[in-house]
């Protein structure tokens, strides 16, 4: 059976379609709900309309692709917006009967972990940390392939929110990046994860950073890329590395957040495919098989 997952995040709405654990189709639309939430606390009417229209289109696309089971996941916008319940209601009306599920921060971290480790190999008892930097929040989950998650925390800051708060100039500049690092130090003052043996990074920021400095994001690489993004205009980053301009806008913030998380985990981050949508697809497949 073909399975579909629509993920409504702070930066983007994405559709992933898979069969037998293999992705066969993907789409995304940048909606930037997190920007409005950071500025006003709510999602304005035009953004609600836009997001509902994207859901309608993705549901129709999934039906054309022969998707047998489809679900819609809502992450930080539904948790952080004052009118999050209105967002959920609009999406339920647009989803043509597909279930709409508001993820808690812990569920988001768990699904990111499941999706990340599903596509990698290694000892089943090795302690793995998975970092998922989204637009509105960031999750870190630590556990093993055999036993699942043992520890998960959500940080109420993401690349879109940090950009709107401190890094909205183009380029943002070294002074703004320094202020953003100070802000992360304040937010992560009580962040004390277990010490993992290895760490994986998922999400759009991590994938875009891989295009600039490679898939191994240690302290040196993250410091280097933050400096590049601090001093280089967005158009030049797009031309040099082929990164979507909308992603470039929030990428310095993503680098700062990943750098702060990597510093506390004390192991390099390895960028991998997979994440919340892939974890949700794994979980959905298990439910279908058990039915």
pTM: 0.94
What token pair was written down for 154?
A: 């959500």
223-276: pLDDT as tens digits: 999 999 999 999 999 999 999 998 999 999 999 999 999 999 999 999 998 899
82-95: pLDDT as tens digits: 999 999 999 999 99
183-203: pLDDT as tens digits: 999 999 999 999 999 999 999
Give the full edge-to-edge strand order of the sheet including 2-8. 22-30, 12-19, 2-8, 67-74, 100-102
- Phi, psi torsion values for 252, nearest 5 degrees: -60, -40
Residue 58 pLDDT class (50, 70, 90 cuts)? very high
Candidates 156, 163, 119; CA nearest to 138 is 156
Hey, how many other C-beta atoms are within 10 angstroms of the C-beta on 42? 17
Tell me whether strands 198-202 and 269-271 are parallel, antiparallel or unpaired. parallel
pLDDT at residue 202, as a whole number:
96
pLDDT exceeds 90 at position 122: no
DSSP 161: H
pLDDT at residue 21, as a whole number:
85
The domains of the chain, with CATH numbers, are 2-102 (3.30.420.40), 106-271 (3.30.420.150)
Q: Checking phi first, is residue 42 left (phi over 0); if not, alpha (psi -120 to 50) or beta?
A: beta
pLDDT at residue 13, as a whole number:
97
């Amino acid at each position: 059976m073909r399975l579909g997952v629509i993920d409504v995040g702070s930066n983007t709405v994405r559709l992933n379609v898979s069969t037998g654990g293999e992705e066969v189709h993907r789409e995304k639309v940048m909606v930037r709900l997190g920007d409005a939430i950071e500025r006003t606390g709510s999602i304005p009417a035009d953004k609600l309309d836009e997001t509902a229209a994207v859901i309608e289109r993705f549901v129709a696309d999934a039906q054309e692709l022969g998707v047998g089971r489809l679900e819609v996941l809502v992450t930080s916008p539904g948790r952080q917006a004052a009118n999050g319940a209105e967002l959920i209601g609009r999406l339920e009306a647009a989803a043509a009967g597909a279930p709409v599920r508001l993820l808690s921060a812990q569920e988001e971290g768990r699904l990111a972990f499941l999706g990340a480790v599903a596509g990698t190999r290694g000892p089943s008892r090795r302690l793995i940390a998975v970092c998922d930097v989204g637009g509105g929040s960031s999750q870190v989950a630590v556990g093993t392939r055999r036993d699942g998650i043992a520890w998960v925390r959500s940080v109420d800051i993401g690349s879109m929110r940090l950009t709107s708060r401190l890094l909205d100039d183009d380029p943002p500049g070294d002074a703004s990046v320094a202020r953003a690092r100070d802000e992360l130090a304040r937010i992560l003052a009580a962040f004390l994860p277990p010490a993992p043996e290895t760490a994986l990074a998922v999400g759009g920021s991590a994938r875009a950073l891989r295009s600039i400095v490679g898939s191994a994001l240690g302290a040196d690489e993250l410091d280097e890329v933050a400096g590049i993004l601090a001093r280089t205009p967005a158009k030049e980053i797009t031309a040099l590395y082929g990164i979507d301009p909308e992603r470039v806008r929030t990428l310095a913030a993503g680098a700062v957040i990943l750098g702060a998380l990597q510093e506390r985990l004390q192991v390099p981050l390895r960028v991998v495919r997979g994440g919340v949508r892939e974890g949700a697809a794994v979980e959905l497949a298990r439910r279908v098989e058990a039915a």
